[in-house]
Amino acid sequence: MAALQGKAKHPTLLLAMGKRKASDGRQRIHLLAVGGSCKRLVSALGYASAAGLIDAIQERVGGAYRVTGETRLIDAVEDEKKGGRRDDALRARDLQAALGDDRVKAIVSLRGGSWLTRILPRIDFDVLGRRKTPVALFGFSELTTVINIAAAYPTTRCYYDLGPAFLRDGMADYARTNIVDPQSRGDSTGQRSRAFALGWAAAQFGEKFLEFFDDVVAMLDGRGSSRSITGRVVAGEVRDKQPITVVGGTLTVMLPLIGTAYERAIDTQGKWLAVEDVNEAPYRLDRALAHLSLAGLLQRCEGFLIGDIHDERGDLRAAFLELLRRHLGPRSKKPIIVSNDFGHVWPQAPLPIGVPMTLRVPKGKKGVPSIRLEVPWKKLAVV
């Protein structure tokens, strides 16, 4: 595999583990905190420190893997007025070392957030081409760039999957929309309903957070995820058992790769483009689609998988689909599938990036065709 970029500025890097040193030879699950701050995550889960968080995940995972993480990164804060995060070098070293360590079998980003794209020039992704063993990467949102770049190497299994810190917000959004608080009737302000949703999510957050790592281990072992991508066809035609390979993720995070040495990682030739986004106004989504069109990515792709797209006012997918149709033109026959299992949403299912999968169209269904993605989990095992 040809390199996607030149050499990093720091070709030899050692893993900085803070107080959580990897002291044995076990295969590792490494926790990343290279996007937005995870400091609130620790307290929200009821742990006294980042070390306590790591210990809890270790207990859940068991002895087959050693769970590691740079506690200084997990405990770091961010300040928008001072450039967001002030630990770029440490974040780059942590990610670089995990990518290159053959003992690391999974790299799990605790959350998305911000501030990651600017450290990409510090990372030598070509270490993935020199690995002797495969590694799985889990992340979404701000990790869109890393997931797609890494997926270009045959030693990686890249999953666009929730950063588990998102679970609390995702579950609260779900509860506000789908669960009725019987005591909120007559509350025109919606304050009680919002409080109910937050309480409902908080009560389950700790267990759901740890359950996520059950799925991580199952995917590493080739048993697959308990969650799956489903959807419905809203334009064009698809056939049962159709091969499909996907690139993409959060639309506005993906755009900075266009016109760079990493652009090949999101090339849509012969692939489907998966997009989702959150808190972007329709006019900004239109601008993003124009960028994709000007770069030829819309024209070259085989089809579209559209995930959740919303802002604080509600669902924006209808508006987004109208925009997409305008950019594609009235003669386009490209298939478009809408899924509720992909995006800044809960429940959410892992979407393998750069991996051949099978699009299944169950028979006997009337109306809008439904689909599910069949993932070759055994082939994606890393152990």
Residue-wise pLDDT for 308-362, tens only, equals: 999 988 999 999 999 999 999 999 999 999 999 999 999 999 999 999 999 999 8
CATH superfamily, domain at 1-220: Murein tetrapeptidase LD-carboxypeptidase, N-terminal domain (3.40.50.10740)
Residues 380, 352 contacting (CB under 8 angstroms): yes
Confidence at residue 186, expressed as pLDDT on a 0 to 100 scale: 52
At residue 9, does pLDDT exceed 50? no
Residue-wise pLDDT for 121-133, tens only, equals: 999 999 999 999 9
Residue-wise pLDDT for 268-315, tens only, equals: 999 999 999 999 999 999 999 999 999 999 999 999 999 999 998 899
Residues 6+ apart with CB under 8 A from 144: 160, 248, 249, 250, 253, 254
Helices assigned H by DSSP within the chain: 39-44, 50-61, 71-74, 88-100, 144-150, 167-178, 191-220, 251-254, 282-294, 297-300, 317-328
Domain boundaries, the chain: 1-220, 230-380
Among 18-22, 123-127, 212-216, the minimum mean pLDDT is found in: 18-22
CATH superfamily, domain at 230-380: LD-carboxypeptidase A C-terminal domain-like (3.50.30.60)
